[in-house]
């Protein structure tokens, strides 16, 4: 059996999710502090909602300095060098990197082109202990504008998820245990997600609401061990409910803008009910549409997990060469861990970048058809 590993916190038991024959249900997708600025990574309906071409990138380093300190009680793992007698493995903290690109779909209705939907593609790499999850996502969204100026969008995504385990870093009492992977092994499954997104510019200075679900098809991932496979981990549907608003002239100051937002997410358990809900509440204040600062509070049923300090900067890059406006936002957050993990980590860092631009193709010139018999036609002749 796997040796009893002395991790720095009780939550580190999740790191063994892919290492045993026990299935881990209620496994959640990666978490993002800047969820209000990266809606595309959890809701396909947001594709094209800004009516711009947008590139989003995010890097989330959770519990920096969280190491695996588990001296082996039994046999020495030959994969560890002699110069590391305590077998300390660094860099096992959760790490997530995501990149997404979205484009609006415009269609000429009457005399103008209207946003009728969007398309997007995204790549996410999520490292958890010795297991890495790689997501390739692609989706489409459709949009409908209501008479009062509000709009609703619905989206569908297809996901290719690959889970890979590095068995060379595992510790064990019995080196001949047939249930322990000893090399690099992995499995790939196809999944899907759906979402809806609503905006209304008539309430306050604009509100938005988001409802989505990922991993709609529960999947079991198998890892190769010798000549057999073990069911190591399982994915389960994840539900996201989010919303926010925009308040100009905050505190009566025309230079200030407040953008509060909330996110509730949960995963489905074996009995079909949703468990492990996580609630994020945040507020960002922007000054002169350039500098932003705010806080985010993340909590679970069991208590508060982290207080995040958030910063943002809207780079004044002006207009592009085509005369179309482009925007660039850079955001950073530092999570002050409030759970027991704070004793053995240096907090959580997140860096995100949003770049949006717009361009329109020129209208096609009108086609003029001429017949050889009438090329020299007298204009006075009917």
Per-residue pLDDT tens for 267-276? 887 776 777 7
What is the pLDDT at residue 248? 93
CA 215 to the chain's CA centroid? 13
Which runs of E-coded beta strand occur in 201-255? 207-214, 219-225, 228-235, 238-245, 247-248
**What distances in angstroms separate CA 370 from CA 374, 378, 380, one per listed residue?**
7, 14, 17
Domains and CATH numbers, the chain: 10-362 (2.40.160.40)
What is the pLDDT at residue 31? 85
Contacts of 66 (CB under 8 A, 6+ apart): 8, 9, 12, 92, 93, 341, 344, 345
Residue 292, exposed/middle/buried by CB under 10 A (0-12, 13-18, 19+)? Answer: buried
Dihedral sign for Cα 287, 260, 31, 159, please.
negative
pLDDT per residue rounded down to tens, the chain (382 residues): 333 333 343 333 333 333 333 333 344 788 899 999 999 989 999 999 989 999 999 999 887 766 655 554 444 454 554 444 555 566 677 889 999 999 999 887 777 788 899 999 999 999 887 888 999 999 999 999 998 889 999 999 999 999 988 877 776 666 677 777 777 888 899 999 999 999 999 998 899 999 999 999 888 888 877 666 676 677 889 999 999 999 999 999 999 999 999 999 998 877 767 777 899 999 999 999 999 999 999 998 767 888 999 999 999 886 544 444 678 999 999 988 887 666 666 778 999 999 998 876 666 666 666 656 555 655 665 5
Q: How far apart, in whole angstroms, are the C-alpha atoms of residue 297 and residue 282?
A: 6
- Phi, psi dihedral angles at 188 (to 5 degrees): -125, 135
What is the pLDDT at residue 67? 61
Q: How far apart, in whole angstroms, are the C-alpha atoms of residue 263 and residue 296?
A: 10
**What distances in angstroms separate CA 169 from CA 94, 335, 337, 350, one per listed residue?**
16, 29, 27, 27
Q: How far apart, in whole angstroms, are the C-alpha atoms of residue 173 and residue 160?
A: 35
Q: How far apart, in whole angstroms, are the C-alpha atoms of residue 349 and residue 369?
A: 63
What is the pLDDT at residue 321? 42
Contacts of 292 (CB under 8 A, 6+ apart): 284, 285, 286, 310, 311, 312, 313, 314, 331
- Phi, psi dihedral angles at 270 (to 5 degrees): -65, -30
What is the pLDDT at residue 87? 58
- 150, 198 contact by CB (below 8 A): yes
Residue 372 pairs in a beta bridge with none
**What distances in angstroms separate CA 116 from CA 53, 134, 170, 200, 263, one per listed residue?**
14, 30, 51, 16, 26
The Cα angle at residue 158 between residues 156 and 163, in degrees rounded to 5 = 140
**What distances in angstroms separate CA 49 from CA 40, 249, 277, 309, one per listed residue?**
10, 25, 27, 27
Structure pTM?
0.79
Q: How far apart, in whole angstroms, are the C-alpha atoms of residue 32 and residue 333?
A: 10
Write out pLDDT tens, residues 28-61. 788 899 999 999 989 999 999 989 999 999 999 8
How many residues make up the chain in this entry?
A: 382
Residue 19: DSSP 8-state:
T
Tell me the three state secondary structure of residue 46. helix
């Amino acid at each position: 059996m796997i040796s009893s590993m002395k991790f720095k916190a009780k939550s580190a038991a999740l790191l063994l999710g892919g290492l045993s024959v026990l299935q881990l249900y209620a496994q959640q997708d990666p978490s993002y502090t800047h969820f209000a600025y990266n809606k595309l990574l959890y809701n396909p309906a947001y594709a094209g909602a800004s009516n711009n071409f947008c590139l989003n990138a995010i890097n989330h380093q959770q519990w920096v300095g969280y190491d695996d300190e588990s001296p082996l009680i039994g046999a020495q793992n030959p994969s560890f060098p002699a110069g590391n007698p305590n077998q300390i493995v660094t860099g096992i903290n959760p790490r997530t990197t995501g990149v997404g690109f979205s484009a609006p779909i415009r269609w000429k209705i009457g005399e103008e082109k209207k946003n009728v939907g969007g398309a997007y593609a995204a790549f996410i790499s999520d490292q958890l202990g010795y297991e890495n999850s790689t997501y390739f996502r692609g989706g489409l969204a459709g949009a409908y504008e209501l008479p009062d100026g509000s709009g609703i969008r619905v989206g569908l995504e297809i996901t290719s998820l690959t889970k890979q385990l590095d068995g060379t870093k595992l510790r064990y009492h019995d080196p001949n245990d047939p249930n322990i992977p000893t090399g690099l092994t992995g499995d790939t499954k196809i999944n899907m997600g759906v979402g809806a997104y609503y905006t209304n510019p008539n309430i306050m200075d604009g509100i938005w609401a988001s409802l989505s679900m990922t991993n709609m098809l529960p999947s079991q991932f198998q890892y190769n061990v010798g000549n057999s496979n073990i069911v190591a981990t399982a994915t389960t549907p994840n539900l996201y409910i989010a919303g926010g608003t925009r308040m100009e002239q905050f505190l009566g100051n025309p230079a200030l803008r407040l953008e509060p937002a909330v996110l509730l997410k949960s995963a489905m358990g074996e009995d079909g009910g949703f468990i492990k809900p996580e609630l994020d509440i945040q507020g960002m204040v922007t000054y002169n549409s350039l500098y932003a600062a705010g806080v985010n509070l993340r909590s679970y049923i069991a208590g508060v997990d982290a207080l995040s300090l958030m910063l943002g900067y809207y780079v004044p890059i002006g207009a592009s060469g085509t005369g179309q406006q482009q925007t660039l936002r850079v955001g950073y957050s530092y999570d002050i861990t409030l759970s027991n993990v704070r004793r053995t980590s240096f907090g959580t860092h997140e860096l995100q970048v949003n770049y949006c631009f717009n361009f329109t193709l020129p209208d096609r010139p009108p086609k003029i058809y001429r017949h050889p018999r009438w090329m020299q036609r007298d204009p006075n002749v009917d």
